[in-house]
Amino acid sequence: MILSNNDNNNHRLELDRVAFYGRTMSEYLMMFGLDDITSLKKYNAILDCPSGASSFVAEAAKYGINAVGCDPLFDKDLRILHEQGDKDIESVVQRVSQKPDLYNWEFYSSVDKLKELRKLALRHFISDYADGVREKRYIKGMLPRLPFGDKAFDLVLSGHFIFTYSYKFDFSFILTSLVELVRVSCREVRIYPIQKSSLQPYEHMTKLLDILKRKHRIDHNIVTVSFEFQKGSNKMLRLTHKK
């Protein structure tokens, strides 16, 4: 179901729950400011959290890149995930088609192309899921507490969750989740996008980054990336342990 609000003439469309939805490797590279697939080979272990219905982990495996996806739904049956993925593609794409002016269409060119790419990601993910569960590449886990040891991954990617859905979470959940993502990384965490699904900036960003730095010794930088589907969403947050 889709909730629709009007806020000071800023039309906002928000999902009432987190969608089981996902993007492809090529979109991940742009979202997270990564050069190309080859550049991922320099990382020994990559975590994608939440992974959702993304094909990133499946595509990485094909290139011999060690990537693990984590999501609260990764104990579910393949059929349930497939149905949920299909349902959420319909729901999100319908929401986008109601307000096309909120998006840039250079990359996808049309709503049909957007849907095609979402279905492609879901198909790749579904076809890899059984092998991936067996090989422990898809692990059930839920922020703000992840089932991984300290510094288990050298690169941690977190797309379309923390700030996208920040209207559903309190400040403490967001802070604790970021600290947790940094805990399981030994090099860096990349978070995309840094604005809400309503296209508004996250209102507590300055306070959040300040607490991360002062209390948790976590450094940050905000990097402009080449991906901007939702207008204004061309920024990625990079977090690292303070040296």
Site residues for ligand SAM, 37-66, by CB under 6 A, read 50-52, 54
Site string for ligand SAM, 112-151 (x = CB under 6 A): ------------------------------xx--------
Q: 83 Cβ partners below 8 Å, 6+ apart?
A: none
**Closest approach of ligand SAM to the CB of residue 133, in Å:** 15
Positive or negative: CA dihedral 221, 224, 229, 231: positive
Contact 117, 24 (CB under 8 A): yes
Binding test (CB under 6 A) with ligand SAM, winner from 12, 15, 21, 25: 21
69 in contact with ligand SAM (CB under 6 A): no
72 in contact with ligand SAM (CB under 6 A): yes
Q: Residue 12 or residue 84: which is nearer to ligand SAM going by CB? A: 84
Contact 57, 128 (CB under 8 A): yes
Q: Residue 22 or residue 132: which is nearer to ligand SAM going by CB? A: 22
Contact 111, 93 (CB under 8 A): yes
Q: Nearest residue to ligand SAM, using CB? A: 159
Nearest-angstrom CA–CA distance, 25 and 23: 7
32 in contact with ligand SAM (CB under 6 A): no
Binding test (CB under 6 A) with ligand SAM, winner from 45, 73, 89, 139: 73
**Closest approach of ligand SAM to the CB of residue 214, in Å:** 25
Size of the site for ligand SAM (CB under 6 A): 18
Write the CA distances from 77 to 9, 68, 81, 89, 133, integer angstroms: 42, 18, 6, 18, 11
Positive or negative: CA dihedral 78, 80, 85, 87: positive
**Closest approach of ligand SAM to the CB of residue 10, in Å:** 22
Contact 194, 205 (CB under 8 A): yes
161 in contact with ligand SAM (CB under 6 A): yes
Q: Which residue, among 124, 183, 137, has the nearest Cα to 156 in the 3D structure? A: 183
How many Cβ atoms from other residues are within 10 Å of residue 133's Cβ?
A: 15
229 in contact with ligand SAM (CB under 6 A): no
Residue ranges in contact with ligand SAM by CB under 6 A: 18-23, 50-52, 54, 71-73, 142-143, 159-161
